[in-house]
């Protein structure tokens, strides 16, 4: 089941090849899901989805079976990874985990 995590820190680490770094706490439920899947979507939300961002930031996917459905966030199929894109975001980056620190 897709899960949405609100991340406070992300940055570009390489332009060629394009690479991003995100900081996610190890005990976080979403960290476990990303490790298992090896893929994720880094979405930059717009003010249009503020309600959904707040809901996902306050609730864990380990406690709610389908966070996206619960808060009404529409998902769209990704083309490169299995997790979905998030509608209403300014950008969605389809990511594959290359390294963990």
Return all residues near 32 (Cβ < 8 A) that are at least 6 apart. Answer: none
33 within a domain of the structure (yes/no): yes
1-15: pLDDT as tens digits: 677 777 878 899 999
Q: Into how many domains does the chain fold?
A: 1
Tell me, what CATH number does 32's domain have? 2.30.110.10
pLDDT bracket for residue 76 (50, 70, 90): very high
- What pTM value is reported for the model? 0.85
Mean pLDDT throughout 33-52? 91
* The pLDDT of residue 1: 66
How many contiguous H segments (helices) and E segments (strands) does the chain have? 3, 6
Domain assignment of residue 27, given as a range: 10-96
User: pLDDT at residue 80 above 70?
Assistant: yes
């Amino acid at each position: 089941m897709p899960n949405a995590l609100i991340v406070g820190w992300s940055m570009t680490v390489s332009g060629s090849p394009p690479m991003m770094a995100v900081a996610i706490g190890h005990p976080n439920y979403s960290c476990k899901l990303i490790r298992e899947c090896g893929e994720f979507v880094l979405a930059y939300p717009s003010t249009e989805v503020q309600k959904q961002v707040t809901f996902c930031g306050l609730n864990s996917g380990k406690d709610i079976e389908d966070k996206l459905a619960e808060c009404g966030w529409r998902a769209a199929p990704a083309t490169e990874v299995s997790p979905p894109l998030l509608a209403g975001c300014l950008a969605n980056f389809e990511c594959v985990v290359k390294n963990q620190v």
